[in-house]
Structure 1
Amino acid sequence: MATVLAVSGSPSRTSRTALLAEHTAADLRSRGHRTHLLALRDLPATPLLTADTHDASLARAMSLVAKADALVVATPIYKAAYSGLLKTFLDLLPQHAFAGKSVLPLATGGSPAHVLALDYALRPVLTALGAQVCQGRFVLDRHITTAPDGAIALDHDDERQLARITDQFARALPSRTHLTAA
């Protein structure tokens, strides 16, 4: 089965975006795929902002991207665009970092007015990195809740649509695994 890296571009410690990425990764794991999570908020700020790719944490993150068969890229939408944290990380990657990789874009936001950010802001950048971009999903923040045990619950329609696109994404994944444990 494939190895999938789920990247959360949210700067928040209490992030619905990160929960959505983790939920999708869990779904992919239940289908037999190997998954790893990368929360960009955990990368050190100074090396990230100064593009110090020799920093061990950044080098490890970039290595996870290189070794992944596919990616789930999740971001909150701020001011009709994906997060600056995600942009900063994507700018560090080599020009064709996603070549030959399927990428499932996910986004969260407070208003349906931001839904086009997936296609008009994030998709072009992922494509420029060589990704085979799959149909993504935008989920309203208010449609994501957490139980006391930390489990995520989605609005029924969002859960159904996310399962559908995750299924399409999973069917497009290669059957090999080569990413070492994070």
Structure 2
Amino acid sequence: MTTSSTLPSTPSQTVGPYLHIGLTWQDGPFVVPEGTPSAVWIRGRVIDGAGEPITDALVETWQCDEHGRFAHPEDPRSAEIGSGFRGFGRSDTRSGDYGILTVIPGRVPDRSGVLQAPHVDLSVFARGMLHRVVTRAYFADRPEANAADPVLSTVPDDRRQTLLARPSTDGYTFDVHVQGERETVFFDV
């Protein structure tokens, strides 16, 4: 007997809430070793549409060092990077917030050669999300560089503040709002 009907597709599954169990490791939040003289913390919360912290999210960061060099084999200057700089950090939010120990990155050119303002790229994975979201944290105390940044200048004026990390006692604060009135600007990558 032959049938002409087909079975429906299996629905997609969401990410988590297992992220903090399987994807963390001891060096995760340390882009630079503790004790690095120019190190700063970037701390924040991942916040849902109701304004509540998401305690089962994972935040990953990627950035260049203070001189605009990436810890990556495709960067010809990577051999000049000081020991201990990894360029990559990962922190979960099970305590209500995330924290990444890093340095303020240098300026790097975009594809057309225009210098970008110092920034850290962030990927956020959380429950209820089928795919990660990607954003950038620029530094609020660098207004001149931010004003000339070719990416930040494409963001509407009233939304740019969602991409600014604010100075705090030991570094910067950068909250990521995944939904709602204060939703962070995310980039299609």
TM-score by length of 2: 0.32
Radius of gyration: which is bigger? 2
TM-score norm. by structure 1 comes to 0.33
